[in-house]
Amino acid sequence: MSDFAHFGGSEEEYAAIRKHNADVEANPDSFEHWEALIAACEALEGGINRNSSPAALETFRDAYDRFLHKFPLLFGYWSKYAEFEFSIAGPESAEMVYERGVASVSNSVDLWLAYCNFKTETTHDPQLVRELFERGANAVGLDFMAHIFWDRYIDYEGLQEAHDRIYALHARVVRIPLHQYARYYERFRVLALERPLTELASADIIAKFRSEVESEYNARGIGEQVGEAMEREIRTKVDAMFYEIFASTQGEVGKRWTYESEIKRPYFHVTELDQQQLSNWQKYLDFEEQEGDFARITTLYERCLTTCALYEEFWLRYARWMSGQDDKEEEVRNIYRRACTVFVPVSRPGIRLQWAYFEEAFGRVDVALAIHEALLDQIPDCIEVVTSWANVARRQSGLEAAVQVYRDQIDTPTVDLYTKAALVAEWAYLLWKTNRSADEARAVFLKNVQWYADSRIFWDRWFQFELEQPGDEEQEERVAHVFEDLRNKSRLPTALKLEYTKQYLEFLVQRGSKDAMMTYLDVDREMFGPTSVSYASSSGTNAKENGASRGELDEQSTRKATAKSFAFYELYGEPTSDAQIPTDFN
């Protein structure tokens, strides 16, 4: 980061940049703070230019580099940065910025157009310019709104008076379903009248049509024809062939028109999209996948992931689709890498866990473990990540390695008490499910209830564990013991305790012994009866420790204590197409 104390501007400029930089460091996700910093850096010393001081230029470049590292899909800022570099250091420096830009947002029609315009104005070698146009065509040529790019490419060839290339470009574009497809066909037909027969189509097609014309003449008893008559017949067939291509393109445009017309924001921004927009992208992807053209599918995914870059569901969908194609391991890895290291907020760990499973599946266990470790550095109280890490250890190194992961996290002082409670419950479940040892699992619950009695997740797991044991009298006693511990040791809200009571009463009705109904009636009276006969009036609602009340949980602790544990598959569903409210990506 630049030394903001020595950039060479006035004291007021220094103070402004220092303030904006502090704002950015305090909240790096705030787009407004970044915009203010960039604007302040651009205005240094009366406006950045080739005569600005080295310190000011360093400050300006540092801010832009950090900004575009954080938000690499902002094509307008890449163009702006390149323009500044051109005015400061010349075309080579600007070209380096453009190259970084198209590497970061390779599917931006506008950025490729800006880059090609820059190249046409600064390079006198047509071959170099054409090479860049071709790179752009391969990157964005299939975009539905790519007509502005193709127009510029055709215009350039017009300036070069390369009429054969102009015709070839039109012959190429009429096959692509673009927003303004029709005008290219109209211009193409005019151009075809001016070009020699050998340029109208490939040699094989011309030979095929020549043979057809000759056969038709022979069938009609007409002798061999040469010259203008033969050429006219062949041109007619070529025109009919391209009309069929035009009609096919027209049909392809019609298929996509509904989806394209519903795209309200085709560019990246940090603000949320409404669910109708997300649903439209899902439907559009469904359509292209059914069409089955790999190039068009990947083009649409890349367009979608510019607009929806912060939504993990689209990255997951892209990775899943790509993994269904042959020999695409590295492509899938790159999708996960882009999603997890740049775009998807870390508050959504699901896609990062999916990446870890992918790496584990392909034998890169060290990478899978490193992903888990990096995640916990960012979100240390994420139960799902710890549980996933423990299971990677179990699959690769055995049960003891998995238990050690839980122990290490539980013993970490910075891990929240309620997170530890959930991890203890997961530890017990691991022993039961993997080792088939109910006694070991029960011992973990019993040993730790004194520390984690205020955790809903702890009780959920313990109750479920005992309810799933084989039915006998001992089971009834053990379930009763869990319920009594819950009533006496936990400070969970009364409403939640009543939910557990319903489960217990249901257990007594469905699986209780012959004397279970007496227990049922007692518990029902104590928990649901009037105050004069309830458990609350006789024992108090607060949990006790050594006979003394432990007091009630505060509001923040109550939220943590009553929180449920969800896997990411349970939290995020498909968008509702008719919903108009913004959809959160955090």
Helix axes 228-261, 181-194, angle to 10 degrees: 170
Tokens of 306: 């510019």
Burial of 222 (0-12, 13-18, 19+ CB in 10 A): exposed
How far apart are alpha carbons 387 and 422 in whole angstroms?
10
- Per the DSSP assignment, residues forming a β-bridge with 549 are 544
Q: CA-CA distances (angstroms) from residue 256 to 108, 182, 505?
A: 19, 15, 57
DSSP annotation of 545 reads E
CA 279 to chain centre: 15
**CATH no. for 9-214:** 1.25.40.10
Give strand pairing partners of 353. Answer: none
Position 539 scores a pLDDT of 46
| 71 φ, ψ (degrees, to nearest 5) | -125, 75
The per-residue DSSP string of 272-323 comes to PEEHHHHHHHHHHHHHHHHHT-HHHHHHHHHHHHHHTTT-HHHHHHHHHHHH
293 phi and psi angles, rounded to 5 deg? -90, 115
pLDDT of residue 501: 96
C-alpha to C-alpha distance for 502 and 129, rounded to whole angstroms: 75
- Rounded to the nearest 5°, which phi and psi values hold at 124? -100, 5
| Spatial separation of the C-alpha atoms in residues 385 and 350, rounded to whole Å | 9
- Is 273:308 a contact under the CB 8 Å cutoff? yes
What CA–CA distance (Å, rounded) separates 24 from 167? 51
H helix runs in 398-539, sequence order: 399-410, 417-435, 438-452, 456-467, 473-489, 494-511, 516-528, 535-539
Q: What is the CB neighbour count within 10 angstroms for residue 76?
A: 12
Residues 6+ apart with CB under 8 A from 494: 536, 541
What pLDDT score does 1 carry?
47
CATH 1.25.40.10 boundaries in the chain: 9-214
Read off the tokens for 545.
Answer: 């420790």
Cα 219 from Cα 196, distance rounded (Å): 28
What's the pLDDT at 542? Answer: 53
Structure tokens at 437: 């040892």
Cα-Cα end-to-end distance for the chain: 28
How high is the pLDDT of residue 584?
60
Strand partners, 544: 549
Q: Please check whether residue 134 is in contact with residue 171, taking contact to mean a CB–CB distance below 8 angstroms.
A: no
Q: Which residues in the chain show pLDDT less than 50?
A: 1-2, 4-7, 537-541, 548, 575, 577-581
Tokens of 293: 């053209």
- Domain spanning 345-415: CATH 3.40.50: no
